[in-house]
């Protein structure tokens, strides 16, 4: 289910935050107007949890902070998007003041991973991934556990697991 809110209702970060708080269990992204998406199904939540564990462990070992699928980041045009999993260098994270860390930080992420759920349109997720790359994010990959396929854009950090390895992990 997708619900669209009036654009004027969600222009500010505070209003977006309040809307999300008033609708627990929903993931909220601001894109032009605003889309409210239903929670993921159980298998999707498991895939996401495994992926975030892999990224957390890899990130800690290689100097990155990890973020889960509830973390919104501000894009250059002011939209707030929520990747399924992402990494940002520790140095970049520490360069943000406390207020920035507690906002929808306008950062360029080092890694973004999107997981296609069985109810997603693959073309919509591809567009989102391509948009991340166009917005300057360094490496974006899409994992599709239903079709057992992957796509990647940009340059991964040194020694980062391949998209095929990430897909194999979430399918174990």
Please indicate, yes or no, whether residues 147 and 75 belong to a single structural domain of this protein: yes
Q: Provide the phi-psi class of 171: left if phi over 0, else alpha when psi is between -120 and 50, else beta.
A: alpha
Q: What is the CATH number of the domain that holds 116?
A: 3.90.1570.10
pLDDT of residue 133: 96
Please indicate, yes or no, whether residues 69 and 107 belong to a single structural domain of this protein: yes
Please indicate, yes or no, whether residues 30 and 49 belong to a single structural domain of this protein: no
* Maximum Cα interatomic distance, the chain, rounded to a whole number of Å: 44
Whole-number Å distance between alpha carbons of 170 and 72: 23
Q: How far is CA 157 from CA 14, 75, 108, 114, in A?
A: 33, 21, 14, 17
pLDDT above 70 for 102: yes
> Please, which contacts does 97-101 make with residues 24 or more away whose CB atoms are closer than 8 Å?
none
Please indicate, yes or no, whether residues 55 and 137 belong to a single structural domain of this protein: yes
pLDDT of residue 23: 65
Please indicate, yes or no, whether residues 52 and 89 belong to a single structural domain of this protein: yes
Q: Look up the pTM and report it.
A: 0.80
- pLDDT confidence bin for 25, thresholds 50/70/90: low
């Amino acid at each position: 289910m997708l619900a669209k809110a009036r654009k004027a209702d969600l222009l500010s970060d505070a209003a977006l935050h309040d809307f999300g708080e008033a609708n627990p269990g929903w993931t909220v992204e601001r894109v032009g107007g605003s889309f409210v998406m239903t929670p993921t199904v159980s298998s999707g939540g498991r895939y996401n949890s495994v992926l975030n564990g892999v990224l957390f462990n890899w990130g800690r070992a290689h100097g990155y902070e990890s973020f889960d699928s509830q973390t919104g980041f501000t894009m250059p045009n002011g939209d707030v998007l929520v990747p399924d999993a992402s990494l940002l260098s520790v140095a970049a994270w520490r360069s943000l003041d406390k207020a920035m860390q507690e906002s929808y930080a306008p950062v360029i992420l080092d890694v973004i991973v999107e997981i296609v759920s069985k109810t997603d349109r693959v073309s919509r997720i591809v567009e989102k991934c391509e948009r991340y790359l166009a917005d300057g994010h360094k490496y974006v990959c899409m994992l599709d556990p239903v079709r057992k396929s992957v796509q990647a854009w940009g340059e991964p950090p040194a020694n980062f697991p391949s998209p095929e390895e990430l897909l194999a992990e979430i399918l174990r």
